[in-house]
Structure 1
Amino acid sequence: MNESPSQIGLRQWIWRGFMQSALIPLVLVETILIACYLLTNQAIRESQVDYLERSAVDSLAATAEQNSRIIRDQLTHIAGVTQLFADMTAHALLGAAASSDETLRSTPEGALFSEKDTGGAASFYSSITPADKRDLVKVGKLSTLDPLMRGLKEREPMIASVYFNSWDSYNRIYPWIQTNAQYPSNIAIPSYNFYYLADAEHNPTRGVRWTDVYLDPAGHGWMMSAIAPVYRQDFLEGVVGVDITVGDLLKDISTLKVPWGGYLILVSDDMKIMVLSPEAEHDFDVHALSLPATSNLSSGGEVKAEGLDLKKARDTRELAAALAQHPRGSSEIVLRGRTHLISWAEVQPAGWRLLAVADEEDVMAATNSLASHYRNIGYLMIAGLVMFYLAFFTYMWVRARKLSHSLRRPIRDIGAMLGEIGNGQWFPVRARSTIHELDEMAGSVLAMGAQLSFSEIRRNNAQSRLNLVVESVTAGLWEYRLDTDCLSLSEEFCKRFGVPATLLERPRFYEHVDREDVSALDLALEALRSGSASVIDLELRLLRPDGSSIWFLCRGRLIDAPDQKVSLAAGTFVDIDTLKQVEEDLRRRTLEAQGVSKAKSRFISSMSHELRTPLNSIHGFAQLLRLQTTDDQEDAKSLDEILAASQHLAHLVDDLLDWSSLQAETPRLQMRVLEVNGLMRECAEMVRSQAEAAGLDLQLQITSPALSVLADARRLRQILLNLLSNAIKYNRPHGRLLMGAVLGGEGRVELFVEDGGAGISAELQGALFEPFQRLGQENTAIQGTGIGLALCRELATLMNGSMGLVSESGVGSRFWVDLPEGNSAPAVRKRLLSLCFVGNDEATLRCLEHSLAGLVQLSHGLLSHCLAQLQSDTAPDIMLIDCDALGDDLVDALYALRRVAGGDQIPLILLCTSPRMIATLGCEFQAVLKQPLEPNELRELIHAMLQVEKPNV
């Protein structure tokens, strides 16, 4: 049992209505708007962050590139000065010997050195060179370079020292230093990178080379040198060098301004930090490099800087790898837990990397502050909205209480009015209300009471009339008492059939029922008594007093008694005798119409052979005569007329048979999935010669990907060939001729044929698909029957499709066929038509294989083999019969072939040495060829037969 829904008061109902229809949607809309505001603010912030990040990277990259270019220009200038010094040194060594007031002392180990500073350069001759091998003349020549060396040092602040190193371990350096304290006595100068980097092996171009950063032995701190070779012809006399201090070269780097409070860092080519600012010391967790005041050269051959190695620090390993791989670039790195943006550029020719670094939080500070401000605004809006709706809900609750009180009293009074009307008091006291709608409702209740009073009067009158109508429409009423098994009939019915107007026992009532219908009535009444049925509905014949019968429809049902015990059934007798007579007359006429239809079908079927046989004989005999006649003879034109007329009559017979077969019975269709492109190509090849003869170019609109339809292949080919034939016949020379397919909606495919003919006016298009309707073309030279389009529409309907056209006068027409799309579109290969050769002549068989290769699928054998194929599903499409091989049995064989089911549908080509005799056989065939076989003539005949669709009657 269904539970009654929970009830609520009017006040709660009004409050829920406010909540559901107004308050909740309003809160939802406001919430969505605030959410949109916050999301938009976040999206704008993210866009600004992306833009500022790109701008910061671009700005840092520009800063690094600009400062690296400044350093590169300074190094290039020093390289030029070094080359000048090398050229002047070579010139001095080639000049005459010069006197020198320089005094050289010897160390205990045997090395020579200048003892005191006389304002010139310092000299040192290593003890590794024997005393008798030392070239003191060279020392005198090099002393002439002191003014040049002093000038270079004074005019270039970055230059720390200028020197010359010879192949025999002689060193001359300005400004003067205590060489015996700085250099080992047995120093082999050519083994140091100050020398060998410029020799012929390492510097074949004899240009200026740069050393790595190193710690200066003379105590000038971190240095690098520009060195250049000095040759006397091809002999390397030595190497000149210009030392520059890294600190002087890069002293302005730490003071350069980088956007967003950033800074610059200089890194060597082996990824060691050379210069960094105090801010960078904190971020990279290092202190400024402290350099020793002095340092002696060791006995090794190379001196390197030992700053902070980026490759060894955990946070900077990836950065070091990027710096080593790319001379320019940008990246992000986390230093001390904060993300930093880094851009770098290469400093040539030293191979250093100049890094511009900025803290990402400093870059995004303004944007983050603005986003926080707008986010706080959003929070304030949410708080304000909550306060507003608390006050608004309180106000709405008070209004709901007042509104419910204003509605409750008049609704209660209106309910009381309805209760009085339900008790039969049609005119109760009217309720009053200040609400216009409720007052109108009270008036409507009064009007309803008045209407019910009037309706009650009309119901009583209608009941009286209904009783009269029932007695007039039915022949009688009956009641069946189940407990006593007796029937009672209406008075008029008893008078009509001479039945006593009293309770009748069932057997006595059966005396007035036709003997053939008693058993059915008895079964129906027994079903009522047993409870297996509750209604009765049967036709029976009752007997008049004169013994004649009349048909009645007896209907009735069980009637429930107030105590729920079934004891009575009631119903009516309806006179259906006239209806039965009409039904019998209709059945008789239907049988007569079916007989006429069968007679028509038999007549058409028999006439098909009677018409085809003489037509084929006429056509074949005319072909034979035409083959023996040239185009310039007088009989040629008459024979062409006979051929055209016979072909037209054959088409007319085929169309009539097709139409009649469709009207007689629904043909059996073999529905399968067909690939549209292959089918269109096949049809196009069949009519292409016909189109070319009419001066038309048939175009195909191939679909990609390939489409497929669910249809009968033969019937769909018949429709397309008919549409193509019409498009060719009713076209204009050089007009449009197009066939294609498009994918429609809801799984449908539309195949169409367009022509550029005269078109069809709108008022004539409605009659276009009627049979035997040619729209005024009956008296023209264009042949036709007017059945083709009607037949095509019938076939399309049978394949669950539809057909129609779109045409415009003077432009052309587009006929379309709409079919269901296939479930799949397999790549269907075009099927070759099969041709069976009945005969065993080897020469003819070889000619067929050679001339029909690729056009048909060839098979051969005896006539019995072909008859066996006809009885199976592998019947050939065309048969070529060697009449000479059959001999006198030819006529019997042809008649036997045509009598087999389906044999009258196969085109026959007869082959014999005497074609003139074949025309007198009286058997149906399509063409005759003469032995020996001409290949070109056979191919033309096969092409012509492929263009004609075979009938299926």
Structure 2
Amino acid sequence: MKLTTRFNLLSIAIVLATTALVLGVGTLILNDVLYRFEEHVLRLELTNAREAVRQALNRSGVLAAAEAAADFEGHLRHKEGLASAELFIVEAPDDRIVYHPALRAGTQFDTDFVDQMFRKGAGVIEYTSRDVSRFAVFTTLAPLDWVIAISIDKQEMLASRAVFLRAIGAIAFVLLCLNAVVVSLFGRRLMWRMRGTLDCVNRIERGDLSARIPAITVHDEFGRLQEGINAMSARIEERTLAQQSAEQALREREARIRQLVESNIVGVFFWDLDGRITESNDAFLSIVGRTRDELCSGTLRWTDLTPPEYRAADARAIEELMHANRFSPFEKAFLRRDGGRAPVLVGGAFFEGRQQGVAFVLDLTERKQAEAERAARRAAEAASRAKSDFLAHMSHELRTPLNGILGYAQILKRDKALEQRQIDGLTVIQRSGEHLLTLINDILDMAKIEAGRLELNLTDIPPDRFLRFIAETIRVKTEEKGLAFACEIAPDLPAGVRVDEKRLRQVLLNLLSNAVNFTDHGSVRLRVGSLSPGRLRFEVHDTGIGVDEAHLEAIFRPFEQVGEARHRFGGTGLGLAISRQLVRLMGGEIHLESRPGEGSTFWFELDVPIVEPQAAVIPPEWAVSGYEGPRQTILVADDVAENRAVAVEMLGQLGFSMVEAGNGREALEKAKGLRPALILMDVVMPEMDGLEATRRLRQLPESREMPIIAVSASASGTDAAKSLAAGANAFLPKPIDFSGLLTEVAALLKVEWTYELPKAQASAPSQTAEPLAGPAGIPVAPPLQEMETLRQLAQVGNMRAIVQHATHLTELDERYRPFADQLRQLAKGYRSKAILSFVEQYLERRQAS
């Protein structure tokens, strides 16, 4: 036989032997590698399946866990090399199926390999099911007695081996046709590739998940196997990194929990039944004012930190702990190193047996301080309410007699038989009462401002008429002191504005009265201008004593009166303080420019809405003497007889039939029987107050529309709202203003008043171009030129000039004396409108003739 043949045969034999050897060794190695690799892959997939089932179970229960297992198995079978994968869950001890792809949940799964799984708890197992050999990894699902397993067909698992063997066979067949060198080279090349593959697998097995088979240049079966190994390695690395990321997140969450325990939010300490504190966080040491060195020394005891009065509470907590392994949170205090006490809320439980406990301590220092502040604030509010209630009560008590004083002053001044001296005395009484009422209102306004309960009541007013009234009021005071007064109103003022008329009037009158009081010589000026549409500037200037710079702020403080004793006029010293607060409430600020001896200028600016002007209702200067139509009955309900007498006198002299009631119950009974046309109902009365009586009247069909005017001497500011809410048609404060009462009565009863001229205007003179001589009792009017002069003086309100001109008329002709006497009487009462009406009557009749 030739050497070549022998060599070829030897080569073939060598190739065959080598092939057989390689096939055998490769099969063994590949089996081991594949088993290891597949086991590792299945273990990772089992871990993921267990977590998915556990999450679903914790979230929604067993059915959700089974659905999660089915979903996971579906995803698993779509992965390469896992098409035959099965996932099943079995529950001990009766081997009931929780989930199986081929069996119904709840069926008993009584097989030997399941029993082996329960015995082992976790691992791998090979078994035969439905005549198919399978390889499975399994583990238990604590704390439930469940076994969860993933199995795969061994044939599929070893399919790569068959591919490899076929490749080796093909290679062997080719090698039989090649020479030994080629066979040898091919064998070496193949072994090099296998070494690279095995090295990669070993690195993966050692935990190097970044290991890859490098330089895969040949994409044959073995190359695809290498690619598959690389792909599996990449998936393992990806999943491992994801798992590591989840574990890192878990560690971070645990670290945050530990940080929370160590933070200053809640104090935590561990203790034993002997009273020793074994460990704590910094928050607890901070609460009790101790150091960690004291803690480490073993001398820190919670029993020593407890004040004596809390030891009984600690004993009850320990007793509860022994019975229930925990004690409910309770409040106590710990002694600090500095001698102070730290109020805390403590709760705890046993920790690792019944020899050591853990306690959680919440610092209540800030809460206790807040509670103390709230208690102090409530006490201050109660004191403020008590002060307000006291002032309101005192106001009620003072207004009640003032109602009688001012009421009868108004009533008696209407008596035609009074002499001038008596009228002057009544005027003094009325002004004194009104001054006292102003003082009361000032004090109450200041109390409301301090309590923050003062509110604005906006109304639409024409500013020119509003300012003329203020000017007429102040002109009286300036003429009494011989001062010049000027009211300068800008021509571009809006025709109508929306303001709180009462409060703005109060501010301007306060500032002007203050200017008059502190001015001995010179003038007082009120100037009102428009800076822009909707913004007004009010300025009060005087040539008085002025204010020193050191006192510019002091004069705005309550009860302050700065200046010489002769300039400290009667009053509360609240006028400027109230004015500043009112202006601030209206959105402005009072400013003061002053120099001692040169006078002062107060000014402020307000933003006011511009509105359409309303027609001005000018009350007649005629005295109301009665009303037209049939007599009507008015019921007066008031528990104070003097107050009832005032109302009876005011309305009785006008022709009304007056009926009285002493309380709300009596008023209710008389209203049912008499059915009066109107009721004056006092709010505060014994037995039944006016509010309750009004509510009950409104419930009766026959008195549902009966007009009711509520009357009250209270200054709380809420009686008006309460009265209207109870069903009253209108509200009047005490002391009752006669003109205000007539206005409400006329509006509610729809009556028309009848008038008569006041005493100074009892009749109208005749009208001729020459001095008039009328019938007996009718004054003789002076010539037309003198009448025009009088009208001009009345229009500007110069009472002193009118008195002087009246004297001049008597000097012209003694026949004009009655006419001049009436002028003096009206001028003495500063009744500028009455004088103007008196003069214009003669002028109109003379022009008509």
- Common topology (TM > 0.5): no
Larger radius of gyration: 1
Give me the TM-score of the superposition, normalised by structure 2.
Answer: 0.36
Q: Write 1 or 2 for the structure with the bigger share of helix.
A: 2
